[in-house]
Amino acid sequence: MSPVGAALWRSLRAHQVYGANTDVGKTIVSTILCNAVQRQKSQNQVAFLKPVSTGPLEDADDRHIQRHAVGTLTECLYQFDEPVSPHIAAQQKNFTVPHDNELVASVHKTLSGWAGNGVNFALVETAGGVHSPGPNGNSQADLYRPLRLPIVLIADSRLGGISSSISAYESLLLRGYDVHSVLLFRDEYYKNHEYLLSYFQKKSIPLLSLPTPPSRPPMEDADALARDEEAMATYYGRVAQGSDIAGLLEQLTAKNAERIDRLESMADRAHTTIWYPFTQHHGMEAKDITPIDSAYDDYFQTYVRSDEVSQSDSSLRATFDGSASWWTQGLGHGNPDLALSAAYAAGRYGHVMFPGNIHEPALSLAELLVTSAGNPRLKKVFYTDNGSTGMEVAVKMGLRAACDRYGWNASQEQISILGLKGSYHGDTIGVMDCSEPSTFNQKVEWYRGRGYWFDFPQVKMSGGVWRVEMPEDLKEPLGADLEFPSLDSVFDVEERVQSAAGERYREYIRNTIHDLVHRQGMKFGSLIMEPIILGAGGMLFCDPLFQRCLADVVRGYPELFGTNAAKSAQGSTPESGSSWSGLPVIFDEVFTGLYRLGRRSAASFLHVDSDIAVNAKLLTGGLLPLCTTMASNEIFQAFSSPEKSDALLHGHSYTAHAVGCQVAVESLQKMMRMEQSGSWDGYREDWQPTLPASESSNDNLATVWSVWSHQLVHDLSHAETVDGVFAIGTVLSLSLKDMQGGGYTSTAARGLQQKLSTSGGKFNVHSRVLGNVLYLMSSVTSRPDALRSIEGLLREALL
Amino acid sequence: MSPVGAALWRSLRAHQVYGANTDVGKTIVSTILCNAVQRQKSQNQVAFLKPVSTGPLEDADDRHIQRHAVGTLTECLYQFDEPVSPHIAAQQKNFTVPHDNELVASVHKTLSGWAGNGVNFALVETAGGVHSPGPNGNSQADLYRPLRLPIVLIADSRLGGISSSISAYESLLLRGYDVHSVLLFRDEYYKNHEYLLSYFQKKSIPLLSLPTPPSRPPMEDADALARDEEAMATYYGRVAQGSDIAGLLEQLTAKNAERIDRLESMADRAHTTIWYPFTQHHGMEAKDITPIDSAYDDYFQTYVRSDEVSQSDSSLRATFDGSASWWTQGLGHGNPDLALSAAYAAGRYGHVMFPGNIHEPALSLAELLVTSAGNPRLKKVFYTDNGSTGMEVAVKMGLRAACDRYGWNASQEQISILGLKGSYHGDTIGVMDCSEPSTFNQKVEWYRGRGYWFDFPQVKMSGGVWRVEMPEDLKEPLGADLEFPSLDSVFDVEERVQSAAGERYREYIRNTIHDLVHRQGMKFGSLIMEPIILGAGGMLFCDPLFQRCLADVVRGYPELFGTNAAKSAQGSTPESGSSWSGLPVIFDEVFTGLYRLGRRSAASFLHVDSDIAVNAKLLTGGLLPLCTTMASNEIFQAFSSPEKSDALLHGHSYTAHAVGCQVAVESLQKMMRMEQSGSWDGYREDWQPTLPASESSNDNLATVWSVWSHQLVHDLSHAETVDGVFAIGTVLSLSLKDMQGGGYTSTAARGLQQKLSTSGGKFNVHSRVLGNVLYLMSSVTSRPDALRSIEGLLREALL
């Protein structure tokens, strides 16, 4: 089903009413507000929605509103007679429980209808307290998040009500709700309203206290009911006279208007003040900037300018976050568990200075990374703030180890790195130098490429066939392309390493390095690779066999690199499992690691244990910057000396900040549990290679798979405008035919991007392009139905 | 008064009992637990502490325990007869309300006494719900934080209790509490215990449900009381038989043991797994690593190994965070407002991809920075993750603007920067290149210093006199030192700029640059300075007049740098307030900005508006990594072109992450409000210069001041081992006499550092040294009494 957009209309002020506890008077306050709005202006049209109601029908909240706020439109979506929590009521009735999304969509639909029919004030009243479960058993505060309705919180005036009101407020804040006002009854003995007034004043939230309503008599007969009605009517009359509801309504109206005005002006203001990363501002206009009101799961709630919506359209639209927010997103936007983890660490530590100290989040994360890496070499964890700084550290580590072993003086001679063309490792100048000259760096004044970068064979599906396309230098003996029956077979590296292609790769690599070192006099200090997919370089899918051979040659022929190689290698042989040989091998897993490609580590596709590995992006599940550089003990030892200044001279102020580490522990554990519990087996089944009948078996799940359907990839590979396509893990990449030659500056994919971004239906797709490549990326928790509807848009656009 | 250490004993398992609401049965559950512990082992000694009790004495909770858990030691610190919230009770009694710290210290003292006397199980029962106010009106959940007692949460079994229990739990988590178990009464109708069992199981928190206690009869006579007593006794007997309290106690014991075991083993495990920043691991032992259990305000709660504490000593000790956690800390560790801000943004956005989008936290922060900068040139905000990356961006900006103006091709010629000796701008290789060769960078393989760095006059107090010490090159005409009657007079830059020193500075600078450019052929692309204090270089206090003159010369003589200078300057004159002249001036305010030196911007001391300014560290109040690089429109325009690749090629995945921006908005606003409301006027008064009688006036507050007392600086400047001392803003710096010549590798300050770290009293001081310099740094919210007690330790050590 379609994602739900957030609920925001210019003409309709809609609020959600939450209670600090049950029985705090939500419906009474709602009645007061509805009446007051009607009093404000005779043509005001007011509505009241109770999505889920429990308790006897004659007692239902919408009935109360009908009786005491005459003229108010009312609606109740689900009514249960039993006066218990909806999740129990729903069970007892043996009722087909609506999916949370369905419930939220119904609320949205009801409000949209009202907005279209001229209703200008609406309340959506929840059941019980903020965390009281909905029919599915999920907390209301969680399930209504997508709507992003501003909150009217009814506080608790009873003894203990200060505490429950503040806690309820905090639970709402934790989920990113905006509380627009607080109301409660006055109790002159406990005086909660006084305390809370001062509390909420500090947060600029208006609080209004109201007279206490008459207590309810037991409903023994019709008389009692009538008496109660009368008492309430009198009460409502009195409140209307004596309280400053009008003032509160003005504040609510002002806050609503302010929200819309801010959203409407945000693009202009951003255009004035923000200098965007990797963005050419020349010719950029304010309208090219999208205001994001909020986000949930895989969706942004993006603002649509007032001149582009009709009266019944919400100004906010669900937009699929098709770049997984620059490849960071893993567990969904606004994930309450991550928010709570962040808050816990912030509350327990803040940031505590790291050198010489240790705290639980940093230690837990380091140990979890080491034990889960699947690489016995990696024993030490160094923290930094992002992939770029983590790669700077990796380079400092690798170069030092090499210089140390080979006896080079790096201040007097240039030490280079070996890599692949199209690699990208970050934006700080040191790691820019690890990439060959390209659009990304050639205009950076201090950039000086320091290395050699191999051209390499690339994997893609075209015309329904998985192919490995050879670069010029490798075409001769191997022919143009290799073809494979399945993606699994491309990844059968242990088998392929024996093939002619493997032999040719190794020979080519060895000869090239020999030439660079012995004829051109280059010195190399590290081999750096992004395993499998080179992300920023254009979603380049490297033949895993080539990367494997590169590592094999570098490690198998240490004499290529320096004269001490043999001697050093003797002491600790590669077989020992921890010693590096030839060059330190650095894997930049900032993009490819932590389940982005479906596995904890993309290195496992190659069966190569790197000496240094860098993780970031998904490390925190998509919430905060944090990076780890892991290294072997041998690399670590290269910095050990009695000289203080031989230490690894790196360390940011917020190194190993507790908030990031805590969130990362939570994220990593969640993702590992998903893997262990087979959450992705459905995808693995979809990608199961079609084997000859003799070899097939029912439990044969693909070892290489994607959340994007195999059939889609197959179909798109036949599309006229598509040059090649692949999917792996959460990544789908489409290389479009470009008459102008491709590359970062190409515009070939813009058309498709444009189509997806204004698909016009119920939601949009936000995507990023890299030249002629358009990619889509999900989180690891994306729901298959959401992905299938996006696939539908792609099919529409391309087939 | 002394800070409070956290409460953790090996022999005493102490828990704090919080209720999800009032009247959920905290004391009944406490009674059950106390009884159960006594049943476990006859020699178990159990105690119960009610720090604050309200309601009639005969009804008090400790009395209940005495009656029903016979043998339990009980104590109540503050008893109020009125059955209302303690903050109201305290007011009504006209009672001298204990300071929160006093209350917490009393709890700690009571528990310590019990631990020393063989008590092995203790409960500290709070009043009402988690946020019910203490006697001072502050939430209990806030005020008891320093103790870091693990929590026994009593959940609510009534209708609505699912919500209030989860919200209470979240409020505790937000403050970094560890909830070790949840107990509640069984209500078979509402079944909260079933829902909550499954909820807390997912969080690995054991939950035990108990039979519902008898309802309490109205206490009309002695008989009713007796009947209640009897009914309760029967109830307790029944619970003892039927519930698995023993199992729960075992889990509590195990969690307590696990906490201690983890703390005890953390140093060893960190020693195995963590690669520390800027740390030489050679010779480092596990015992050199300090486990931090938690933190609050300016204090770490650090773990003391079991062999170093007596039975009555808590294993956790308050340790003053004397480096403000590498200069980041501003608003205190574990600040609940910052934690809540972080949680709000995490819940509302997660991280949303920035280019082409805008969200409220990023926009609000950018606008707040621009309007509060006090520098009309700075109009554009570029986000990165830390000071180092922010300075990389600044350098890319500055160099591009210069190359653009002067027509240089930076890929073919070396463009250098102008700076000061001892500058430090971060650990990524690009900005390392902005510093002259030093211990910090010379062993980094790819480091190549690209610049010229001026030696400069330094400010310090020695022998009771403020002096500006000249470097060799400036000594000749000016004499050795300049002397000043006050720090304010050193900073009277507008006056001093006319002096002989000003003239000499300018001449020296101009001649030097002329020589570098015209004789040595260097090309310069930017002037980079840390205004006033060069932090990592060794807390070097630069004569503000020298920095002012440097900027004046660079801007006043553009022809020094390139031939197009005059032409460019014509179009937009420096007077226009936005055009740069000579070189783009970059201020690295990562350390010095945002009130670290007492002012929003340290540039205001110089009256120089930089073209580019970088902020980080204090930006988030000391919670999370975030950095902003601000620039003028003219710098911004240097990247504008129809060529996409002319854009500023920089951008990290988590650019402008919502959590960081939201926290930064909150932090910056808080600090600005403190300044506006005169929070620091006491310090300014203390630093008021002694003027001649004719000029003095009562409201004459110092313009340059420190949280450290002027008298302390004065006194220490006379100490035998002190070479010089200064304080400004939150920074106190002591330069110690070193026979071996000083510098980063010096060990002169180690002795003093050692003394402070084991001062033996009630708390320790954690400090950092830079060679022969020991500095102390507070947050902007540090309490004067805390600072004065640290000053006492310094006096003891040095005078």
pLDDT at B459: 98
Mean pLDDT of chain A: 93
Mutate to test the interface with A, among B274, B591, B627, B666 (most CBs of A within 10 A): B274
Q: Is the pLDDT of residue B360 over 90?
A: yes
pLDDT band at A574 (very low <50, low <70, confident <90, very high): very low
Nearest by CB: A347 against B283, B336, B429: B336
- Both tokens of B272, joined, read 């195995």
Do A164 and B403 make contact, defined as CB atoms within 8 angstroms? Answer: no
Q: Is the CATH number of domain A13-210+243-258 3.40.50.1110?
A: no
Encoded tokens for A653? 């102020």
List the one residue out of B496, B513, B597, B501 whose CA is nearest residue B555: B513
State which H helix or E strand residue B618 sits in: none
* Statement: residue A568 has pLDDT above 50: no
pLDDT tens across A304-343, in order? 988 888 888 999 999 999 999 999 999 999 999 999 999 9
Of A14-28, A59-73, B546-560, least confident by mean pLDDT is: A59-73
Mean pLDDT of A701-708: 95
Residue A565 has pLDDT above 80, yes or no: no
d(CA B409, CA B411): 6
Question: Of the ranges A62-71, A318-327, A420-429, B568-577, which one carries the lowest mean pLDDT score?
Answer: B568-577
Judge: A170–B353 Cβ closer than 8 Å, yes or no.
no
CB–CB contact B392 A645 (8 Å): no
Nearest 5°: phi and psi at B416? -110, 175
* Tally of residues, chain B: 799
- For domain A685-798, the question of CATH label 3.50.50.60 is answered with no
Interstrand relation of A773-777 and A378-384 (parallel, antiparallel or unpaired): unpaired
Return the pLDDT at A746: 62
Strand partners, A123: A15, A48
Residue B572 binned pLDDT confidence (cut-offs 50, 70, 90): very low
Statement: residue A571 has pLDDT above 80: no
Supply the pLDDT for residue A741: 55
| Cβ-nearest to B295 among A128, A349, A403 | A349
The predicted pLDDT at position B759 comes to 61
Check CB contact under 8 Å for A625 and B657. yes
State the pLDDT at residue A575.
45
Q: Is A175 in Cβ contact with B348 (below 8 Å)?
A: yes
Contacts of A325 in chain B (CB under 8 A): 350-353, 653
Query: What residues does each domain of chain A span?
Result: 13-210+243-258, 270-327, 375-650, 685-798
CB < 8 Å to A128, chain B: 159-160, 162-163
Inter-chain contacts counted by CB atoms under 8 A, chains A and B: 616
CB B572 within 8 A of CB B579: yes
Comparing CB atoms, the residue among B278, B334, B640 nearest residue A647 is: B278
Contacts of A588 in chain B (CB under 8 A): none
Q: What is the pLDDT of residue B745?
A: 53
**With bands split at pLDDT 50, 70 and 90, how would you rate the model's confidence at B716?**
very high
pLDDT digits (tens, 9 = 90+) for B387-428: 999 999 999 999 999 999 999 999 899 999 999 999 999 999
- Count of beta carbons in the 10 Å neighbourhood of residue B642: 8
Query: Which of B133, B155, B54, B80 lies closest to A162, judged by CA?
Result: B133
Distances (CA, A) of A136 to A90, A96, A626, B170: 8, 10, 35, 21
Cα separation values, B767 from B319, B557, B638, B790, Å: 10, 43, 43, 11
Chain B CB contacts of A145 below 8 Å: 347
**CB spacing of A358 vs B292 below 8 angstroms:** yes
CA proximity to B85, closest of B125, B49, B139 = B139
CB contacts, 8 Å: B279 with chain A: 355-356, 647-648, 651
Instruction: Please give the pLDDT value at position A570.
Output: 43
Contact call for B445 and A525, based on CB within 8 A: yes
Please indicate whether, in this complex, the C-beta atoms of B355 and A163 are within 8 angstroms of each other.
no
Contact B353 A326 (CB under 8 A): yes
Spell out the SS3 assignment of A91-127: HHCCCCCCCHHHHHHHHHHHHHHHHHCCCCEEEEEEE
Which residues, in sequence order, are bridge partners of residue A319? A300, A764
Q: What are phi and psi of A646, to 5 degrees?
A: -80, -10
* Mean local confidence (pLDDT), A760-775: 87
User: Is B644 in Cβ contact with A744 (below 8 Å)?
Assistant: yes
Place of tokens 């002020």: A13
Given an 8 Å threshold on Cβ–Cβ distance, is B349 in contact with A295?
Answer: yes
Verify whether the Cβ–Cβ distance B343 to A348 is below 8 Å.
no
User: Chain B residue closest to A21 (CA)?
Assistant: B160
Find which of A80, A338, A351 to mutate to test the B interface (most B CBs within 10 Å of its CB): A351
Q: Which of A500, A597, A601, A602 is nearest to A547 (CA)?
A: A602
The string of pLDDT tens digits covering residues B208-222 is 999 999 987 776 777
Give the whole-angstrom CA distance, residue B33 versus residue B248: 9
* Nearest CA distance, B210 vs chain A (angstrom): 21
pLDDT for A152: 98
pLDDT in tens, A464-518: 999 999 998 888 766 778 999 999 999 999 999 999 999 999 999 999 999 999 9
- With CA atoms as reference, report the closest residue to B265 among A628, A360, A369, A350: A360
The shortest CB-CB distance from A654 to any of B84, B332, B624 is to B624
CB nearest B292 (choices: A83, A139, A352): A352
Q: Suggest the residue from B82, B131, B148, B167 to mutate for an interface test with chain A (most A CBs closer than 10 A).
A: B167
Give the pLDDT confidence of A412-444 residue by residue, as tens digits.
999 999 999 999 999 999 999 999 998 778 899
What is the predicted pLDDT for the residue at B744?
52
Q: Cα separations (Å) of B58 from A189, A516, A627, B64, B204?
A: 22, 91, 58, 9, 39
Measured distance CA(B757)–CA(B763) in Å, rounded? 9
| Min Cα separation A497/chain B (Å) | 34
- The C-alpha atoms of residue A185 and residue A514 are separated, in whole angstroms, by 84
pLDDT band of A689, cuts 50, 70, 90: confident
Say whether B603 sits in a helix, a strand or coil: helix
CATH topology of domain A375-650: Aspartate Aminotransferase; domain 2 (3.40.640)
Find the DSSP H helices in A218-294: 222-242, 245-273
Indicate the DSSP class of residue A426. Answer: -
Alpha carbon of A541: minimum distance to chain B alpha carbons (Å): 21
CATH of region B336-676, choose from 3.40.50.970, 3.30.450.20, 3.40.1130.10, 3.40.640.10? 3.40.640.10
pLDDT band at residue B571 under the 50/70/90 scheme: very low
The answer to whether the CB atoms of A162 and B660 lie below 8 A apart is no
Distance CA A703, CA A689 (A): 9
* Residues of chain B positioned with their CB less than 8 A from the CB of A451: none
Cβ(B330)–Cβ(B671) under 8 Å?
yes
3-class SS at A307? Answer: helix
What is d(CA A199, CA A166) in angstroms, rounded to the nearest whole number? Answer: 9
What is each CA distance from A24 to A27, A51, A152, B716, in whole angstroms? 9, 18, 13, 61
CB contact under 8 A, B396 and A346: no
Q: Which two tokens stand for residue A692?
A: 């000859």
Specify the pLDDT at position B694.
59
**Do A622 and A324 contact (CB within 8 A), yes or no?**
yes
pLDDT band with cut points at 50, 70 and 90 for residue B712: very high
Residues on chain A touching B270 (C-beta within 8 angstroms): 358, 363, 366
Q: At B351, is the pLDDT very low, low, confident or very high (cuts 50, 70, 90)?
A: very high
pLDDT at B562 over 90: no
Closest CA to A369 of A390, A354, A355, A351: A390
What are the chain A neighbours of B380 within 8 Å (beta carbons)? 273-275
pLDDT tens string B429-456:
999 999 999 877 889 999 999 999 999 9
Cβ atoms of A575 and A589 within 8 Å: the answer is no
**Residue A573 — very low, low, confident or very high, per pLDDT cuts 50/70/90?**
very low
The owner of tokens 């509801």 is A245
Q: Are the CB atoms for B714 and B730 separated by under 8 Å?
A: no
pLDDT, tens digit, for every residue of B657-694?
999 999 999 999 999 999 999 999 999 999 998 765 55
Please give the sequence-ordered ranges of beta strands (E in DSSP) within B340-402, or none if there are none: 357-359, 378-384
CA–CA distance, B338 with B242 (Å, rounded to integer): 45
Question: Interior CA angle at A298 toward A293 and A302, to 5°?
Answer: 25
Contact B282 A641 (CB under 8 A): yes
SS3 of A614-629: EECHHHHCCCCCCEEE
Tracing tokens 């830059």 back to the chain, one arrives at B493
Q: What gap in Å lies between CA A655 and CA A652, rounded to an integer? A: 5
**Is residue B738 packed enough to be buried (19+ CB in 10 Å), middle (13-18) or exposed (0-12)?**
middle
Contact B380 A274 (CB under 8 A): yes
Enter the ipTM: 0.97
Residue position matching structure tokens 């308790």: A55
* pLDDT per position as a tens digit, A631-640: 999 999 999 9
Does residue B573 surpass a pLDDT of 50? no
The C-alpha of B795 sits at a distance from chain A's nearest C-alpha, in angstroms, of 26
CB A322 within 8 A of CB A776: yes
List the single residue in A with minimal CA-CA distance to B401. A445
Nearest CB to A163: which of B131, B191, B347?
B131
Mean pLDDT in chain B?
Answer: 93
A323 interaction partners in chain B (CB closer than 8 Å): 353
Q: Which positions in chain B touch A84 (Cβ < 8 Å)?
A: 159, 189-190
d(CA A777, CA A791): 12
Which of residues B36 and B90 earns the better pLDDT score? B36
DSSP 3-state assignment of B230? helix
DSSP B86-126: HHHHHHHTT--PPPHHHHHHHHHHHHHHHHHTT--EEEEEE
Mutate: best of B294, B378, B654, partner A, most A CBs <10 A: B654
Cβ contacts of A289 on chain B, cutoff 8 Å = 356-358
Closest CA to B417 of B516, B505, B503: B516
In this structure, what are the phi and psi dihedrals at residue A77, rounded to the nearest 5 degrees?
-85, -40
pLDDT at A738 over 80: no
| Strands of B357-446, DSSP E | 357-359, 378-384, 415-420
Which letter, b or e, does each residue of A227-241 get, where b requires 16 or more Cβ atoms within 10 Å of its Cβ? Answer: ebeeebeebbeebee
**8 Å CB contact of A358 and B291:** yes
Report residue B479's pLDDT band, with 50, 70 and 90 as the boundaries.
Answer: confident
Distance, in Å, from the CA atom of B615 to the CA atom of B330, rounded to the nearest integer, reads: 14
Q: What is the end-to-end Cα distance of chain A in Å, rounded?
A: 23
Dihedral over alpha carbons A489, A495, A499, A504 (to 10 degrees): 90
Contact B112, B118 (CB under 8 A): no
**CA-based end-to-end distance of chain B:** 23
**How far is CA A157 from each of CA A161, A228, A304, A443, B127, rounded to the nearest angstrom?**
5, 21, 40, 64, 17
Of B386, B439, B444, the CB nearest to A385: B386
Mutate: best of A92, A147, A164, partner B, most B CBs <10 A: A164
Q: Residue B797 corresponds to which tokens in the numbers above?
A: 């050590």
β-bridge partners, A24: none
Residue A32 has, within 13 A of its CA and on its CB side, a CA count of 33
User: A779 CA to chain B: closest CA distance, Å?
Assistant: 13
Q: d(Cα A709, Cα A687) in Å, to the nearest integer? A: 8
Residue whose C-alpha is closest to residue B656's, from B635, B684, B677, B626: B626
Please state the rounded mean pLDDT for residues A220-225.
79
Lowest mean pLDDT among A617-626, A738-747, B764-773: A738-747
Tell if the CB–CB gap between B338 and A350 is shorter than 8 Å.
yes
Chain B nearest C-alpha distance from A298 (Å): 10
Whole-number Å distance between alpha carbons of A99 and B78: 51
Instruction: Give chain A positions within 8 Å (CB) of B745.
Output: 644-645
% of chain B beyond a pLDDT of 90: 82
Using CA coordinates, name the residue in chain A closest to B198: A137
Distance of residue A308 Cα from the nearest chain B Cα, in angstroms: 18
Q: Which of A491-500, B120-129, B477-486, B552-561 has the lowest mean pLDDT?
A: B477-486
Point out the least confidently predicted range of A57-66, A454-463, A502-511, B115-124.
A57-66
pLDDT band at A224 (very low <50, low <70, confident <90, very high): confident
Q: What are the φ/ψ torsions at residue A291 (nearest 5 degrees)?
A: -75, 130
Which of the following CATH numbers is that of domain B13-212+244-258: 3.30.70.520, 1.10.540.10, 3.40.50.300, 3.30.470.10?
3.40.50.300
Q: What is the pLDDT of residues B305-317, one digit of tens each?
A: 888 888 889 999 9
CA-wise closest residue to B259 among B11, B5, B8, B4:
B8
pLDDT, tens digit (0-9, with 9 covering 90-100), for A18-54 = 999 999 999 999 999 999 999 998 889 999 999 999 8
Q: What is the pTM of this model?
A: 0.97
**CA A609 to chain centroid:** 28
Question: What angle is formed at CA B412 by the lines to CA B410 and CA B415, rounded to 5 degrees?
Answer: 40
